[in-house]
Amino acid sequence: MKILDRYILKRFLTNFLSAYIILTIIFIFQFIWMIIDDLAGKGLDLLIISKFILYNIPGLTPLVLPLTVLLASLLTFGSLAENYEFAAMKSTGFSLIRAMKSLIGFMILLSIATFFINNNVIPAAELTNVNLKNNIKKAKPALAITTGAFNNLESLNLKVDEKYGENDRFLKNVVIHKNSKDKKNHTVIKAKEGELFSSEESNILQLILKDGNYYEDIVSKDPKKRDNFPHAKAKFEKYIINVDVSGFDNEDLDQIKIENTFKMMNVTELNYAIDSFKNGYLNNMHSFGDNLYRRSGFTEIYNAKPEENKKDTTVTAATKAGIIASDELINLISANKKKQVLDIAVNGVSNKYNTLKSKKGDFFFRKKFLNKHIITYQKKFSLSVACLVLFFIGAPLGAIIRKGGLGLPIIISMVIFLAYHFLGMFLENFSEDGSVSPTMAAWLPTIIMLPFGIYLTDRASKDRPVAELYKYFAPIGAFFKKIYKALNAL
């Protein structure tokens, strides 16, 4: 490797490592700011909090790495051009592409490393992080209560609108569903206020409810009495529920229990899961369609024998001319049976509509779940290519703008990265419901950036600006000059 290659590579690596460390620290602090309310003052030691933050660092790679590549390439070539080092290289026959030779090799290695991080490191960190979070909630039950959603707490499904006070022990608008042995909801408790009370000497967590109502469905052993829906209800000023948390004390925070979400899978596992979910989705849809078709009664009409159709001469004669309108068809039935036929038709259509409406949500969820697996699979490859493409945008753009330092390069890199990132984020959201192909959503931001990289590399290698605007404005100026001369001649 020549001295200039080593020099450029050294400058780039210095900027790359500096930018990566600074950006990682910034994103870590942003993450800490988001979770500080959930972790601070909850009795967790510093080691557990450090583990929780450490396991989230690999997940920042899709954000940090593309921005780091873009910023480092802009800083390196902008500084070389600003200090006329790049001009001195050109005088010795070093073109832009030749100056980028050593960095292209490094970027290829970085792309391979990025795929390894995406395929192995991030799933492993996500696996450990999710299980650590789940085990922390079991070891510290107060952390398991998330506002605005139902939380499973031993034998209770609990929902609160707000937590406040010391260690979030006070609750507002509490709704509780008790888990019964038959796995049905027979008991509902509502209270305006609640309080969590626990002691280090006791294995009992007390949930003290105030100003509420208690509802319970009583399951009668006599089937005849069940139609009367027997129940009990009561109003209370104070109601105490004891939850045994003795099993939580011995919870191993590093134990792996959850290991099957799409973020925890590598390429091989995702490929297998996608095939399984796709086949299950299609089979479920076809099975539902066939079942709905059989229940509609059209199969009997379609498969009816000609001899059977000849029995009803009135209908046969009416259908010889073609399709019968609905008002003509109803007139073929006797008057005393019209209402009965119409009621049957309305009930049938209503049942089919309700069935389709309920299945629509189920199919939407299945499709969304499948699309999330597909886009996660594709992004393991697209991120590696995106880093390479962003390098070919940043390096020639730095040579064109001829500005080093932390001013203009940071602004330009942030604008380009935000365009890339938000485009990817919007497409990913659209792909979940099938509005955009999940494969296209993963690759389109990189595909859009590729022509810019090619264009900027071509412009920088020819020592030309980003856009020669005078070529577009010169004809307009000449046109107005002609008009001005013509007016003066008059």
Cα dist. 405→1, 73, 81, 87 in Å?
27, 12, 12, 18
Distance CA(148)–CA(168), nearest Å, equals 14
441 contacts: CB under 8 Å, gap ≥ 6? 375, 378, 424, 427, 428, 430, 431
User: Which distant-in-sequence residues (6+ apart) come within 8 Å of 80 by Cβ?
Assistant: 8, 11, 86, 89, 99, 398, 399, 404
What is the reported pLDDT for 38?
61
- Ordered DSSP codes for 115-158: HHIIIIIHHHHHHHHHHHHHHHHHHSGGGG--TTS-EEETTEEE
Ramachandran quadrant class, 472 (left: phi over 0; alpha: psi -120 to 50; beta: rest): alpha
Q: For residue 425, which amino acid is it?
A: M
Rounded Cα distance, 391 and 398, in Å: 10
Check residue 299 and give its pLDDT: 53
Give the pLDDT confidence score for residue 322 in this predicted structure.
47
pLDDT at 93: 76
- Any bridge partners for residue 151, and if so which? 158
- Residue 405: DSSP 8-state: T
Considering only CA atoms, which of 183, 185, 133, 181 is closest in space to residue 159?
Answer: 185
For 16, 318, 319, 322, 334, the CA distances from 314, given in Å and listed in that order, are: 86, 6, 9, 14, 12
Q: Give the global pTM.
A: 0.66
Distances (CA, A) of 157 to 41, 144, 180, 231, 417: 25, 11, 11, 20, 43
Place of tokens 């490797």: 1
Distance CA 84, CA 372 (A): 48
Distance of CA 381 to the CA centre of its chain: 17
According to the model, what pLDDT value does residue 463 have? Answer: 75
What is the per-residue pLDDT for 385? Answer: 92
Cα separation of 61 and 70, whole Å? 14
Task: Return per-residue pLDDT of the chain as tens, 490 residues.
Answer: 578 888 888 989 999 999 999 999 988 888 788 776 666 555 566 777 777 788 888 888 888 999 999 999 988 888 888 888 877 887 777 778 888 888 888 999 999 999 999 888 888 888 877 777 666 655 555 555 667 777 776 667 888 888 877 767 788 888 888 877 666 677 888 988 888 776 555 556 778 888 888 888 776 666 666 566 677 788 888 888 877 655 444 444 444 444 557 788 888 888 888 888 888 888 888 887 777 777 665 555 445 444 544 444 444 444 444 445 555 566 666 666 777 777 777 777 787 777 787 777 778 888 888 888 899 899 999 999 999 999 999 888 888 887 766 677 788 888 888 899 899 889 988 888 778 888 999 999 999 999 988 888 888 887 776 655 445 556 666 777 777 677 777 6
pLDDT of amino acid 116 = 92
CA trace torsion 469, 475, 478, 483 (10° rounding): -120
Tell whether the torsion through CA atoms of 274, 277, 281 and 283 is positive or negative. Answer: positive
Cβ–Cβ under 8 Å, residues 123 and 108: no
Angle between helices 61-82 and 408-432 (to 10 degrees): 150
Are 182 and 205 within 8 A, CB to CB? Answer: no
Tokens of 65: 């790495």
pLDDT at 109: 93
Burial class, 445, CB count within 10 angstroms (exposed 0-12 / middle 13-18 / buried 19+): buried
Residue appearing with tokens 């009930």: 347
Query: Which pLDDT value is given to residue 254?
Result: 47
Judge contact between 382 and 431, C-beta under 8 A: no
